[in-house]
Amino acid sequence: MNKSFQIFVYPHKPDDPFANVLLPEDYNPEGPYTSELYFKKTLFNSHFITKDPNEAHLFYMPFCILHLRHDPRIGPEKLQDFVKDYIFNISHKYPFWNRTGGADHFYTACHSISEIAMDKTVEAKENSIQLVCTSTYFVTDYFPHKDVSLPQIWVKKHDPGTLVSSKRNRLAFFAGRVNSPVRAALFKHWVNDTEIFAHFGGLKTNDGKEQLRSKFCLQVKGFEINTARVTDALHYGCVPVILANHHDLPFTDILYWKSFSVVVHYMDVPVLRKILQWISFEELSWLQSNVMKVRKHFEWNVPAVDYDAFSMTMYELWLRKSSVRV
């Protein structure tokens, strides 16, 4: 992949009226939805870019869903029209979209509003590759066979330092709002438990300290499936416990998630403590060891570093390029 994979990015100039949406940032983005921004910035500075579209395996549509959402000229109300017009323009200016019906084209989005972005462009919805954080099967815009589950990563400025497992004296940790039936069940059963620390709302201090002292960190589905809690847990060396059904975990085509996380059906919330207590010391040590090995796959770097989040995302695209090559 590193030697031959080529991406053509539809070109836009700095004086384009929507340059803020189409070009990468000249700063390091911050916040919970920045995976799409880091991907674009890293791709533009990588060796995967080709200026010759005839050499390209895939074509990148560089509009940023997050910036479109906040642009006063577009916003959520005109998002679908912008995407529709963008695809109309490239399909009439260039021949590449029409060759495959957009099947060798892709875009990125980490905010849940991406679920409606393609509603006025059915061809794009059904054919184009979507790199999205909202990888749930309940969304009609997500197709597991062609789309990619992108990790939602809240980039940390500092490394947590020592991640010694012997100092983790709490069984499990979660902090968050009650905005789903699964979270309501979690608080109903475990809000006053001594081993599972379930805190309603956000902590007044950085929850990294709580994750550092916990063996397991719970990722409990909220209003949407996308969350940075999984990657936060990995950052702090805490074994993620996935309490969210019917969705693709990030890089699911590459990583074996059961080797570094625990997947629990949401119907098993009442017996969650027993499930985690049944995990032997040897199995927990194995999970913690694998957490340390996969942390690098969930980190953004500019420029990219081998096996980081950008490399993993590119490999997911690489796996999909052979099915649409003309």
Structural contact between residues 217 and 241, judged by C-beta atoms closer than 8 angstroms:
yes
- 159 in a domain, yes or no? no
| Number of compact structural domains in the chain | 2
Q: Is the dihedral of CA 277, 282, 285, 287 positive or negative?
A: negative
Structural contact between residues 321 and 315, judged by C-beta atoms closer than 8 angstroms:
no
Do 12 and 148 lie in one domain? The reply is yes
Per DSSP bridges, beta strands 239-243 and 58-60 are: unpaired
Q: Which mean pLDDT values do the consecutive 10-residue runs of the chain (326 residues) have?
A: 96 96 90 90 96 96 94 95 97 96 93 84 91 70 83 84 79 89 91 91 79 93 74 94 83 94 92 96 96 95 94 95 60
Do 132 and 257 lie in one domain? The reply is no
- CB count within 10 Å of CB 73 equals 10
Local structure of 103: helix, strand or coil: coil
Give the separation between CA 109 and CA 141, rounded to whole angstroms.
12
- 158 in a domain, yes or no? no
Do 277 and 309 lie in one domain? The reply is no
Please give, one letter per residue, the 3-state secondary structure of 169-238: CEEEEEEECCCCHHHHHHHHHHCCCCCEEEEECCCCCCCHHHHHCEEEEEEECCCCCCCCHHHHHHHCCC
Output the domain CATH number for residue 262: 3.40.50.2000
- 326 in a domain, yes or no? no
CA dihedral 281, 272, 255, 237 (to 10 degrees): -60
- 2 in a domain, yes or no? no
- 48 in a domain, yes or no? yes
Structural contact between residues 156 and 235, judged by C-beta atoms closer than 8 angstroms:
yes
**What is the structure's pLDDT at 10?**
98
Structural contact between residues 79 and 68, judged by C-beta atoms closer than 8 angstroms:
yes
Do 206 and 305 lie in one domain? The reply is no
- CB count within 10 Å of CB 321 equals 18
Do 108 and 75 lie in one domain? The reply is yes
The whole domain housing 82 covers 7-153+300-321
**What is the structure's pLDDT at 107?**
95
Do 195 and 286 lie in one domain? The reply is yes
Do 125 and 198 lie in one domain? The reply is no
